[in-house]
Amino acid sequence: MSENTSCEVLDVPKQAERGRTRPPLRKGAGAYNMKMSRKKRTDSGMTLPEVITASAILLVCLTALATLLAGAINSSQTAKLRDEAANLANARIEAARTIPYDSVGVRYATGLSGDPAGEILTPEVVGRFTVDTICTWVRDAEGRAAYKKFTVRVSWSQPSNGHVDVTTMIYGKSNITGTGDMVVKLRYRETGLPVVDSSVAEVDAHGVARGVMTDNKGEAFFAQLPVGPAVLTITPPAGYLVDTTSVSEAQITADALTTLIIYVQRPATTTIQVRNAAGSPVSGATVVMRRADGQETTYTANSGGDVILSDLLYAEYSVTCSAAGYTSATLPLVLSAGSPGATMRFTMISRTAASLVVRVRDANGTQIEGATVHVKPQTGGSDLFSQVTGTNGEVSFPSIDDGTYLLVVEKTGYSVEYQLVYVSEEHTISTVTLSGGAKGNMQVHTLDKNGHAASLRVIISGPGYYRDSLYSSTSGLLSLTDLPVGSYEVSCYDSPASVATAIIVSGQTADVTVSQSKK
């Protein structure tokens, strides 16, 4: 038996080698194969690259899992915060509905109130939340206040920034009587475009302060203001000035909408040079700038004889320069969007250097440059002296003997003026007024107390003894032509009424607006 078994085992490898197939194992063959397999195993384990690769895969899987877990936790927290914020916002809205309609509005910690003004403090901090309440008027087709739009925003910052807005409309009947509405339209002077998100504050006739921001139309709306004056304060965008000539004391009218247009502008600049007849600086000279609306500001020339000014409004100015030992002079200055910077020069004439100073003016008292002044004997004849007026409209003649002389003053476009002057040992100043000359035009717009174009009686006063009383057309327009250059005062006949100043410039049309309201 054992011999047969041995022969069979020895024959298996040979048969497999010849046929390249392995016959089915017979009894004892399994043990043989396992023995052969154990001989091929080693104790070397995994290689270093295999360990690194396996670790990287494990790290990626763990990172992805951590991200998923963090996202799930954050999403759950955000959902919870959103629910809490929505509940808080809805509670604030329900609370607003329980208070009287006239009390539905906001007040700020600064002391200002929003418009509508009310008893709701904003902002508030409630636990982890910040609650901002926004209440605004919704206006009807005529621009009057109709009802209130009420928005509550509840925001949070952890674990990430978020907010919930809840908006509703609140209707009711106001018990406040004797009020009017006002809309302030803020515009850029250079382009006429609306000024958005600028603060407009007003103090009404009862001393209550309110503040709103201009909307995307550049409008700030105030409702239920008591009848009477309202004082406005405008905060312009950075780098701009408020044109105070268009800001005045607004007059609120009962059951009416008052509309104001207020401009902001880039600052205008000017340099005023003060020099003597030799061209040297006159340091310490006093320069007074008077704006067309009557505002005056005084400056002093520096060591170089200059006054350098910035932050000026576009306007028409009258600039007067004076200095000890010199005759004073006045010149007009116009700053506009098209000409925001200007340089003007004063040539000062010394009083001690002349026996006779002749000032040449037009009917409005404005200096006339380029006029020729002839000094002749009293009986006429040839010139003893002759000079042309400078920018200040003056000429000086030194060392003239005492006596009476004939002055002949002429300039193209003006009538020739003759005047006798007596020169004594004392300093003599003579003023000669030329008539005729350049002409300009004026267009007046008239508005009623509600700001609508209307036919009104207008009083116009101007150079010399000029005074006229005229009526504008039904469209609120009044046009005047061929007016002598100079400064005119325009006002409505009714009192109180607004007053405007028009500067007539040769060949140009001055545009002014007056109304029955003092604004």
pLDDT tens readout for residues 302-334 = 999 999 998 899 888 889 999 988 878 888 888
Residue 292 and residue 486: Cα distance in Å, rounded? Answer: 12
**So what's the pLDDT on residue 12?**
44
Would you state the structure tokens that stand for residue 354, as one six-digit string? 């002349």
The tens digit of pLDDT for each residue in 140-166 reads: 888 888 999 999 999 998 878 889 999
CA atoms within 13 A on the CB side of 96: 28
Q: How far is CA 94 from CA 153, 169, 170, in A?
A: 14, 12, 11
CATH superfamily of this structure's domain 439-515: Immunoglobulins (2.60.40.10)
* Cβ contacts of 80-87, under 8 Å, gap ≥ 24: 81/128, 81/156, 81/162, 82/162, 82/164, 84/129, 85/129, 85/154, 85/155, 85/156, 85/162, 85/163, 85/164, 86/154, 86/164, 86/166
**So what's the pLDDT on residue 13?**
46
Instruction: Label residue 426 by pLDDT band (50, 70, 90).
Output: low
Q: Look at the block and give the residue holding tokens 């201009």.
A: 214
Average pLDDT, the chain: 82
The tens digit of pLDDT for each residue in 361-416 reads: 887 677 888 899 999 888 888 888 889 998 788 888 877 777 888 999 998 878 88
Is 289 or 78 the better-scoring residue by pLDDT? 289
| Residue ranges with strand state E in 266-305 | 268-276, 286-291, 296-300
**So what's the pLDDT on residue 379?**
83
Query: In the chain, where are the structural domains located?
Result: 2-32, 92-170, 179-265, 273-348, 351-436, 439-515
Residue 293 and residue 103: Cα distance in Å, rounded? Answer: 40
The candidate with the shortest Cα–Cα distance to 156, out of 83, 93, 102, is: 83
Q: Identify the weakest region by mean pLDDT among 2-11, 191-200, 423-432.
A: 2-11
**So what's the pLDDT on residue 434?**
86
**So what's the pLDDT on residue 3?**
38
Is 513 or 337 the better-scoring residue by pLDDT? 513
Q: Taking 60 as the threshold, does the pLDDT of residue 292 lie above it?
A: yes
Report the CATH fold assignment for 273-348. Immunoglobulin-like (2.60.40)
Beta bridge partners of 288: 298, 320
Task: Pick one of 3.40.50.720, 2.60.40.10, 3.30.420.40, 3.40.50.1400 as the CATH number of 179-265.
Answer: 2.60.40.10
Phi-psi region of 99 (alpha: psi -120 to 50; beta: other; left: phi over 0): beta
Sign of the Cα torsion 479, 483, 487, 489 reads negative
The tens digit of pLDDT for each residue in 443-456 reads: 999 988 888 888 88
Would you state the structure tokens that stand for residue 135, as one six-digit string? 């209440």
Beta bridge partners of 287: 299, 321
Residues in the chain: 519
Q: Taking 80 as the threshold, does the pLDDT of residue 54 lie above it?
A: no
Q: Would the CATH topology of 273-348 be identical to that of 351-436? A: yes
The backbone torsions φ and ψ at residue 226, rounded to the nearest 5 degrees and listed phi first, read -65, 150
Report the CATH fold assignment for 351-436. Immunoglobulin-like (2.60.40)
What is the average per-residue pLDDT within 444-472? 83
**So what's the pLDDT on residue 348?**
81
Q: Taking 80 as the threshold, does the pLDDT of residue 198 lie above it?
A: yes
Residue 245 and residue 434: Cα distance in Å, rounded? Answer: 32
Residue 325 and residue 274: Cα distance in Å, rounded? Answer: 14
What is the average per-residue pLDDT within 66-95? 80
Q: Taking 60 as the threshold, does the pLDDT of residue 244 lie above it?
A: yes
Phi-psi region of 32 (alpha: psi -120 to 50; beta: other; left: phi over 0): alpha
Q: Is the pTM here over 0.95, yes or no? A: no
Q: Taking 60 as the threshold, does the pLDDT of residue 270 lie above it?
A: yes
**So what's the pLDDT on residue 2?**
37
Instruction: Label residue 300 by pLDDT band (50, 70, 90).
Output: very high
